[in-house]
A = this chain, B = another copy of it.
Amino acid sequence: MSIGIFDSGLGGLTVLKEVRKIFPNEEIFYFGDTARVPYGEKTKELIIRYSKEITDFLLTKNINVLVVACNTATALALEELKAVYDIPVIGVIEAGVRSALSVTKTNEIGVIGTKATINSEKYKQEIHRRNKDIVVYQKACPLFVHVVEEGLLDGEIIESIIKHYLGDFDDKVDTLILGCTHYPLLKKEIQKIYPDLNLIDPAMETALDLKKVLTENNAAENKGGHVKFYVSDGVQNFRNIGSMFLDEEIEDIELIKL
């Protein structure tokens, strides 16, 4: 079994990290679309087109299962990918929702993500599909991605941006879904400002979804645990900053023109 994982860039490495913990011996192909990052403000049509281009590429590596490790691509392209391709396709939204529902006590859940993710209402729909009684508050936080990519993970700037976005609704919810793979890097700072909030990172739960799929297909096997990375721009930058997300050196990496 070979696992394909893709994201608009670096963020999906937080998902890869969890997958690696459960499957240290599987062969994994990771694609980061660094030429066209960020996805969060693109249209649905364009995100579907880019997601298909990447999936077509990963299929040439004979992947048997695909993880869409990007909330925006999951929100806007997952249905299309599932309809078009024969292999199992796993997104991050179901995992995040399941996790949040198991934790909330007040039945009031907050969701933060990119503009495209929030406008799609996919998190809200998935929450209500499972439990109609949950009150959902949503907020797009487009600056978070850029602040994380700048490495400004603490200090005055990120503090004022967190308060700007979350000040409105922190007293309304007891649980907050970090609906963008960049946001877990802000977990510590958000928790410092809002210590009572349950913060949900869908990455770990997504890895468990993958485990379920592999178990159902009796497909887990020892392929030596090699991870091959592909990016569409900036190999050196991905190698440097990627290790911050992954907590592991990024070695075998190749530039792909899409």
Q: Which residues of A contact B (CB under 8 A)?
A: 35-36, 41-43, 46, 142-143, 146-147, 149-150, 152, 156-157, 160-161, 164, 233-234, 237
Q: How far is the CA of A42 from the CA of B33 in the complex (A)?
A: 12
| 18 cross-chain CB contacts under 8 A | A35-B36, A35-B42, A35-B46, A41-B149, A41-B234, A41-B237, A42-B233, A42-B234, A43-B233, A142-B149, A142-B150, A143-B146, A143-B150, A143-B157, A146-B146, A156-B160, A157-B157, A157-B161
Q: Nearest residue in B to A140 (C-beta to C-beta)?
A: B150
Contacts of A234 in B (CB 8 A): 41-43
Distance of A76 Cα from B157 Cα, bound (Å): 30
A166 to chain B, nearest CB (A): 13
Complex contacts, A147 vs chain B, CB 8 Å: 143
Q: Which chain B residue lies CB-closest to A232?
A: B46
Q: Taking A36-B36, A156-B164 as given, write out 4 further A-B residue pairs in contact, using a Cβ cutoff of 8 Å, ordered by the A residue number.
A: A35-B42, A43-B233, A142-B150, A143-B152
Note all chain B residues with C-beta closer than 8 A to A43.
Answer: 233-234
Q: In the complex, A156 Cα to B159 Cα: how many Å?
A: 11
A237 to B119, CA, bound (A): 13
* In the complex, residue of chain B having the shortest beta-carbon distance to the beta carbon of A157: B160
Measured CB to CB, the closest approach of chain B to A247, in angstroms, equals 23
* Residue contact A233 to B46, C-beta cutoff 8 Å: yes
> Which residues of chain B come closer than 8 Å to A46, judged between CB atoms?
35, 233
Nearest to A159 among chain B residues (CB) is B160
- Minimal beta-carbon separation of A72 from chain B (angstroms): 13
Those 10 A-B pairs whose CB atoms lie nearest each other, nearest first: A146-B146, A46-B233, A157-B160, A156-B160, A43-B234, A43-B233, A42-B233, A36-B36, A35-B46, A160-B160
Least CB distance from A158 to B in Å reads: 10
Residues of B within 8 A of A42 (CB): 35, 233-234
Tell me the smallest distance from the CB of A35 to a CB of chain B, in Å: 6
The residue on B at minimum CB distance from A47 is: B233
**Bound complex: CA of A220 vs CA of B164, how far in Å?**
49
What B residues does A157 contact at CB under 8 A? 143, 157, 160-161, 164
Looking at the assembled complex, report how far the CB atom of A19 sits from the nearest CB atom of chain B, in whole angstroms.
27
Say whether A146 contacts B156, CB under 8 Å. no
A36, A143, A164: residue with the most chain B Cβ atoms closer than 10 Å:
A143
In the complex, which residues of chain B have a beta carbon less than 8 angstroms from the beta carbon of A146? 142-143, 146
